[in-house]
Amino acid sequence: MATGTVRYWAAAKEAAGIAEEPFDAETLADLVAKITRNPQIERVLRRSSFLVNGAPAGTRDPSTVSLPEGAVVEVLPPFAGG
């Protein structure tokens, strides 16, 4: 099981109530299950994109995205540009 840091941005940060936190998880799916703690964050996570050490997870099944030791996972909710 890898340990690392998950960082929340914009609406994800607001829904989580924190900017970042440590995690221990084997896959992105495991991590998402662990950080889903209320209905508000669950809604945001379902619409969010994820970066693992700066690389987009894309549309891959989260259970196939392994998290390396020391990973930084960034939660990027949808946002509008101007």
In a domain, 81, yes or no: no
Question: In the chain, which stretches have pLDDT less than 70?
Answer: 80-82
H helices of 2-63, in order, are 11-16, 28-35, 39-47
Nearest CA among 23, 15, 32 for reference residue 78? 15
In a domain, 62, yes or no: yes
pLDDT score recorded for residue 80: 60
pLDDT score recorded for residue 79: 79
**Residue 19, H or E segment:** none
Contact 23/35 with Cβ under 8 angstroms?
Answer: yes
CA distances to 7, 11, 60, 62 from 18, rounded to whole Å, are 9, 11, 26, 23
In a domain, 46, yes or no: yes
Say which residue the tokens 């221990």 belong to. 24
In a domain, 82, yes or no: no
Task: For residue 19, give its domain range.
Answer: 2-76
pLDDT score recorded for residue 59: 94
